[in-house]
Structure 1
């Protein structure tokens, strides 16, 4: 058994929830609910009505707290035996400063599932390093609140993560949304942003079947953790894992993506992953709305940059580009520390919830 599967054997995965359970709704990064309360209230309503769970807020959920205060809320949520899962409201830009204030013993004592992405990759990585699995995706203000209903793919994978023990196919969606409706516009609570045709997944070295636990997350956070050199374990701790990578609304250049992966390769880290999944790259934001051709070109350049780094540091890796997780919608929630099967010959991805 390789290192990654050995880690999974020791990874703490909490029991599934049941209807009526209480779940924490916290803001470990930016306290978005304080700025957009109507969006936050919509997410609480959908937790109750669509999931049958009871959301519980904490002091910094709606008020921007210091790193120590946000850490205290996280520890309070994990210390409360009545809380059975923890949802992040949204990401941000400084969650890495919360981590030094956390006591691992509190989280190990009751390893309940954590849902988030973007800046929440800091928390997911920290939990992973302490043997606790989580879920990449699911910030409440983003994918629970937007538009007339929760996306079917998001809801199916969220329900699987919360309530089911199931092997769920992660499939290509016919169209995805790269644009957003501003939360300052009341239409954001009613209408869905426009979808564009999905160019489909691109497979590279799709010649094997790999089942393994996942690790990674947002590329920018990945880079911060490498730079801080505080929240990264020795390289062989990740050996055999499936690397998840996605980029944010900051839309890093292809050269920036290459340099992050090059640095991981120089460290010896990039070589540890037999499979790399790249999310459909976000190529539009409020301040930058390129036309369709420019968005396609951006994604093509990013794919070329990733392959350029892998050609040097991990040429045999199987890679899937364009998977719908991360910053685009619909968003599949994926296990983080739990297992995926990536079947190259059959062009299939299965999430084991």
Structure 2
């Protein structure tokens, strides 16, 4: 039987959404960008973004007080007038929140939580609590995109957690970008970034359709989480469609292969239903081909040449990015080239 996760109420227009700094207090250095995200979320989704009590207390305080960051999550879950949550930005240390998180509270008050990158840690704790979570843009990234939110992002967020739930197919972004913009330069906020034409997905292997619940996140963050009490139990990995992406740290293809071998040693790869790989941030074409070679190699080592694998998918550290409902059912159909989601 497929695993079942509680689906949080939708974040319809009028929802009050708490902005959380669970990873870093960097936002206070780019408050113009923060306000742009607040404005654009109100324009596109009708959300009222409200900062959690500690969210804007700055990098020094939040670095010294991981318990305050966890308290913000608990505050947002327990406040009856807060409908959902969005991560302001990622970072590299939300694994420090694990001793302070109350999974019972997440289960008792299932609310939509949106974010990516270092937010992987907390999103997976929602899955451990039996609650869906949403791997998608943070407030300072695609929600505050220069020149306005990309329609691809708007559609992805709406389908995943705003509109009435209905199955939908994912699609490649028509164009994408990694162009750097200094968020502290408010004069650039209304200037759209240059885009590269989309190059579509790459189906690396697999012939038969497969379906499972969606899990995953940022590989570097998963490596930090691996072996801690926050790591997913074997029953959560079994039968899953695993979505993996890499960050601006640009781990070499071989390193990705080594991480996958760790998953193989745990028995994770053998039990998967499918694998989604994001467009790798900062990779050259040669690095991308090497990455694909490593993925095929490791799957061959564990006898999973049958596993459907779709690469170059628009999520994680790319823009515009999809919103993936973790815990929801996803079907991969190599014959038709479709990825269908039941949010």
Shorter-chain TM-score: what band?
over 0.9
Which residue of 7, 13, 17 maps to 1:13? 7
Q: Does 1:312 align with 2:301?
A: yes
Instruction: State the number of aligned residues.
Output: 336
Matched with 2:325 is: 335
Q: Does 1:184 align with 2:184?
A: yes
Matched with 1:42 is: 36
**Structure 2: where are the runs of 5+ without partners?**
none
Matched with 1:77 is: 76
Contact 1:176 1:330 in 2 (8 A): yes
Alignment of structure 1 residues 54-133 onto 2, 5 Å: 54-63=48-57, 64=59, 65=62, 66-133=65-132
Matched with 1:225 is: 225
Change (3 A) 1:50 1:257: same
Q: Does 1:27 align with 2:16?
A: no
Query: How far does residue 32 in structure 1 lie from its aligned partner after superposition?
Result: 2.6
Query: How far does residue 162 in structure 1 lie from its aligned partner after superposition?
Result: 2.7
Query: How far does residue 187 in structure 1 lie from its aligned partner after superposition?
Result: 4.6
RMSD of equivalent CA atoms = 1.5
Which stretch of structure 1 is more off in the superposition, 198-207 or 239-248? 198-207
SS in structure 2 at match of 1:50: helix
Matched with 1:301 is: 290
Deviations 1:321-346 (A, max 9, x none): 10011111110111111122211110
What is the distance in 1 between the residues matched to 2:155 and 2:205?
29
Query: How far does residue 36 in structure 1 lie from its aligned partner after superposition?
Result: 0.5
What is the distance in 2 between the residues matched to 1:49 and 1:198?
26
Which stretch of structure 1 is more off in the superposition, 131-140 or 159-168? 159-168
Contact 1:146 1:188 in 2 (8 A): no
Matched with 2:214 is: 214
Contact 1:283 1:298 in 2 (8 A): no
Deviations 1:227-267 (A, max 9, x none): x3322233243211100000000000011101111111112
Matched with 1:243 is: 242
What is the distance in 2 between the residues matched to 1:206 and 1:267?
22
**Structure 1: where are the runs of 5+ without partners?**
285-294
What is the distance in 2 between the residues matched to 1:71 and 1:335?
22
Matched with 1:345 is: 335
Which stretch of structure 1 is more off in the superposition, 176-185 or 343-352? 176-185
SS in structure 1 at match of 2:290: helix
Contact 1:325 1:332 in 2 (8 A): yes
Query: How far does residue 168 in structure 1 lie from its aligned partner after superposition?
Result: 2.2
Matched with 1:287 is: none
Matched with 1:288 is: none
Matched with 1:256 is: 255
Deviations 1:256-282 (A, max 9, x none): 101111111112122221200000111
Query: How far does residue 31 in structure 1 lie from its aligned partner after superposition?
Result: 1.7
Could you tell me the TM-score, scaled by structure 2's length? 0.94
Contact 1:181 1:187 in 2 (8 A): no
Deviations 1:56-97 (A, max 9, x none): 111221123211000000000000121111100111000010
Contact 1:23 1:53 in 2 (8 A): yes
Matched with 1:142 is: 141
Which stretch of structure 1 is more off in the superposition, 254-263 or 199-208? 199-208
SS in structure 2 at match of 1:20: coil
Contact 2:11 2:112 in 1 (8 A): no
What is the distance in 2 between the residues matched to 1:186 and 1:22?
26
What is the distance in 1 between the residues matched to 2:162 and 2:173?
23
Contact 1:175 1:197 in 2 (8 A): yes
